[in-house]
Each structure stands twice: as structure tokens, then as C-alpha cells.
Amino acid sequence: MIKKLNIPLKLKIPFLKKKEVKKEKKERKSEVSEKVEISERLKKVFDILFEETGKSINYKEILKYREATDLSLPDILSHHFDISYEEFAKAVAKAYGLNFAEKPLGDAKMVGEVLRDQNHTYHYLPLSGVDTIIPKNVYEEFAHEEHIKTQEENVWGKFYTILMQAKRKGDVEDIIISPLTNLYEIRFKYVGERGSRVVDILSYEEGEAMINAIMTQAGMRLSEEDVPQSGAIRLPELGLELRVEVIKTIAGKSATARLIETTGFFRETLKSLGYPEEIREKILEKAKAVQGLILVSGPTGSGKSTLISATVNEIRELYEQKGIVLVIKTIEDPVERTLKEVDHVQRREELLEFSDAIKSFLRQNPDIIVVGEVREPDTAQLVIRASRTGHLTFTTIHASNCIDALLRFKDELLKTGETEESIGQVFASNLLMSLNLKLVKLKDGRKFPIVEMFIPDDETRKLLAQGKYWEIYERMKERKETYDYTVRDLYEKGLIDKDDAESLLGTKI
């Protein structure tokens, strides 16, 4: 962006036309006293004009002409005192130390509009109805900015085309723009797949310009490219929001844009998403509880938020059939989808954190609270508090399995001063279920959710209270409740490839 020049008020006023001055007089009575001061300052310009041209200028006569006509000060000096526009421009430049160009540099209307758009109002000198003189440094910066702007518009158009391609495919989760030694790759990452696929190659300059264009659209700061930045781009015409992350690597800037559908309410249910009926019934049974914690874990893109949203939809509809409207509140970062009759709150860094929103929710006494993610100790502690005080509470955490999720949650609680024993007691009395998700792609192209589910019973609640987490996992293995058995079952039924099965299991079959 062009930086606003620090030009004194005295320089701005000469270029105001009569109508504009009258408008300012109406708006501020203090203009009268200021006008006298400005008039004194302008004498400096007139003294220089006298020295340079030998032409005497009567300032009082100028004021009379200003009152009687719509002419600007440069026009008055030209028509009535035989002072050319360029002589006046040079005098102003000399008086205030500005480096103005020596000759006209473009269409006056165009330059004026551009400078006004960039907050450069009145920082240029009209030479005639067609030509304009502007500060040389401003012109040079403007020319550079116009080049960058044109380049960014072109590459944004190309990115938009790639975005529409991803939208049409329907299962693209991320668009990745990644630098190599002397070029950029654009890759698609598909839902439920490891790795990504190259869809386009750009020159290094074009790839960097594309990331700059995306950063600009996402409200990021190009001047702070060494710092990782996050932003969002709303594209209502495509029914999408892009969650953008940019970080500088040793090869250059790298960007990832997560595609989030925003068209209307999210109406999917566990059934419509294809969850097996046995799993659906178990989830809904626990989600009918008045209070307690449902902890959902899994890697990025595994469908954690989708499962919670679908579950909330089913519970809400179940109560609606009885004529009851549940009060449901969520705090998310970002709000990926909106649900009917649900109050969604967007986390805003340094303004509204997860913990701030949960405290507010507790005072409003909702039936269901959804916390997008446990990222810090305060949030973990408040999630437990919510789940123990009459609220069905959902939250997510990144973990490799449903017991690892409890351990990670426990680690956050330990940072608040809680003891191992007290945390174990909380889990034993309050945990409804811990789910771990993985999304796999079947041979026929369909996405299939693999769910590992821990539902405490009397025996495992005692183990929770004693902090024997991995003993619980061994019990789950004995009962074939871990997701390894589901993967092997899918492979044996010929639904997934051997490579995919071994990748999910982390071992040879």
C-alpha cells in the first residue's frame, strides 16, 4: 500500500474549491481562526513565487476571487496573476520540501480518484482539465503498486478457477500452494486420503504472487511475511469460506486453504453421513444425557466437527418432535458450518477466547455446549465444569486413539493444579464417551468413518478413578473395540486396499 504522505494542512487547503470550503465552514466554526493561520503560512509560497517570477501577488485579491468564483487557487493564480500551474507547483514543492514531478504525469481524474482511494486526498496539483502533477515519489510508488495489483488480480483469477475446480470435485479438503527451488506446485488434498495430488505448476514469481493475492484477500499483512499468519476468505457466490494458513519456508511462502461449505444450514445426521447403525445408536444414547462429557478426537480432517454437528442435529430434531426447543451454544475457531436454532460464536484472538465464551455460556444455562477444541488448560477446566453442572458438553482434541485423548485432556488439567487422583475421579463420574475417528476411502471411492469408541462401564470407571488408562485400552483390545479390528475387517472384506490398511495400522498385514 502507498503510505500516506505527511503533508501539512496548509498544503491541502489551497486545492479546495469554493464549495468545499463553504461545506467545511458549516461543519466547523473553528475554520475561521484556522483560515487566518493558513493564510499566513501561504505567504511563504507567494514570496517564493515573487522571487522566482518577479510577479507581485495580493493575497486579499485572491480571497475575493475565491469568494466570487468556483476556481481553485492554481486556476486563480493562472487566470488573474499570470502564474502558470507549473510555476505554482514548483513554488509549493520548494516551500514544503516536496519532490514533485517536473511535467504532467497522467489523467487528472484517474490520478485524483486513485489517490483519494489511497487516502491521498488533495496531495496532487491539477495542471489543467486533463493533466495532473503529483509528487514523484507517490507516482513511482503508485506505478509499482499498480503493477503488483494487476499481477495479483491475474493470479487471483487463476486461483479462483482452481477453487471452482475443487468445488466441482466435491471431496477436496485443502488446496496447498507449495514452493520448490524454482517453481510452485498447487496440490489438492482429498478428504480421507493421505498425501496430496499435484494439479498445477506455476513459475516461482507467479506462485509467490498468488500467495500474496490470497493473503490480501484474507486480510493478512504482506509486510510480516516472516510470521505465520491465519485468515479467512468468504466466497458466498460459491457457498464457501476458505480458512487460510501461510508460513514462510526456506524455499518461500507456503499456503494452505481449507474449504468450508457455508451454503445454508448443515442438515446432515449420523444416518445420512453413513455411520453404521450400531455406532449411531450408541452415540445417540449417550447424547440424550442431561449432562456429561463427550470427547471426540482424531487427526485433522477426520470428521470430528462433522460428527458433533450431525449428532446435535439428531438430538435437536428428537426434542423438536416433542415440542421442545433445546438451547444450544457453540464456541468455534472457525465456525465451519451453521446449524438450525444453534447460537454459534466465533473465537477472536485476544478479544474472545474459548474460556471467555464458556464462562458466558454457563451464565446463560444452555442445554448443550459445544467447544470447538481444547487448546489450553483454562478451556479444559471449564469444559469439565460445564459438563458437571447440567450441560451436555461436546469438545474435540487431537489424539491417536480414544485413550490417548483422555491422557492429553488430563495433561491440560494438570496444568491448572488438579491432581492425578482428582482428574481420574472426574473422568470416572463425568465421562459419557470418548470417540476417535479416522476417515478412510473405500475401493469404490466412498468415504467410510472408522470409529473407535470407549464407553465407561462400572469396571472401567473404577480403572479411570485409579488412573489406569492403558489397562482400559488393553481391555478394549480384548473386546475387539479398537479401530485396528475395524480396519482389518474392512481389508478382509475387500473394501480397502492392502496399502491403505497397512498405512492405517502402521504395520504389515
Question: Contact at 8 Å (CB) between 412 and 355?
Answer: no
Instruction: Say whether both 111 and 180 belong to one domain.
Output: no
Instruction: Say whether both 200 and 309 belong to one domain.
Output: no
CA dihedral 119, 121, 123, 124 (to 10 degrees): 120
Residue 269 lies in a domain: no
Residue 225 lies in a domain: yes
Instruction: Say which amino acid occupies 321.
Output: Q
Assess whether the previous peptide bond of 334 is cis (omega < 30° from 0): yes
Residue 93 lies in a domain: yes
Domain boundary among 134, 167, 184: 134
Domain residues for the domain of 480 are 277-505
d(CA 264, CA 340) in angstroms, rounded, equals: 9
Where helices occur in 99-203 by DSSP H, the ranges are 108-117, 136-169
Contacts 24+ apart (CB under 8 A), 205-210: 206/155, 206/158, 207/177, 207/179, 207/183, 207/252, 208/179, 208/184, 208/252, 208/253, 209/148, 209/151, 209/152, 209/154, 209/155, 210/155, 210/156, 210/158, 210/159, 210/177, 210/184
Instruction: Say whether both 408 and 339 belong to one domain.
Output: yes
Residue 143 lies in a domain: no
Tally DSSP H helices, then E strands, for the chain: 19, 15
d(CA 322, CA 344) in angstroms, rounded, equals: 24
Instruction: Say whether both 446 and 361 belong to one domain.
Output: yes
Distance separating the N- and C-terminal Cα atoms of the chain: 58
Burial class of 197 by CB neighbour count within 10 A (0 to 12, 13 to 18, 19+): exposed
Residue 166 lies in a domain: yes
Task: Identify the sign of the CA torsion 486, 444, 171, 199.
Answer: positive
Instruction: Say whether both 55 and 178 belong to one domain.
Output: no
The H or E element containing residue 503 is helix 498-505
What's the pLDDT at 410?
96
**Residue reference for cell 499481477:** 151
Domain boundary among 90, 107, 134: 134
Instruction: Say whether both 152 and 128 belong to one domain.
Output: no
Residue 348 lies in a domain: yes
Instruction: Say whether both 87 and 164 belong to one domain.
Output: no
Instruction: Say whether both 404 and 466 belong to one domain.
Output: yes
Instruction: Say whether both 159 and 238 belong to one domain.
Output: yes
CATH code of the domain in which 365 resides: 3.40.50.300
Domain boundary among 106, 134, 162: 134
Instruction: Say whether both 166 and 125 belong to one domain.
Output: no
What's the pLDDT at 456?
96
Nearest-Å Rg of the Cα atoms of the chain is 33
* Alpha carbon 271 to chain centroid, angstroms: 31
Question: Contact at 8 Å (CB) between 391 and 368?
Answer: yes
CATH code of the domain in which 242 resides: 3.30.450.90
The beta strand positions in 306-348, using DSSP E, are: 328-332, 343-346
Question: Contact at 8 Å (CB) between 433 and 453?
Answer: yes
Residue 236 lies in a domain: yes
The beta strand positions in 193-272, using DSSP E, are: 197-203, 229-235, 240-249, 252-261
What's the pLDDT at 65?
74
Residue 1 lies in a domain: no
- Total domains, the chain: 3
d(CA 283, CA 435) in angstroms, rounded, equals: 9
Question: Contact at 8 Å (CB) between 401 and 436?
Answer: yes
Instruction: Say whether both 360 and 393 belong to one domain.
Output: yes
Instruction: Say whether both 353 and 481 belong to one domain.
Output: yes
3-state class of 453 per DSSP? strand
Contacts 24+ apart (CB under 8 A), 52-61: 52/87, 52/90, 52/91, 53/83, 53/87, 55/81, 55/82, 55/83, 57/81, 57/83
Q: Residues of the chain whose pLDDT is less than 50?
A: 1-38, 99-133, 136, 139
What's the pLDDT at 441?
80
Count CA atoms closer than 13 A to 439's CA, side-chain side.
Answer: 22
**Sheet containing 368-371: which strands, arranged edge to edge?**
343-346, 328-332, 368-371, 392-397, 292-297, 431-441, 447-454
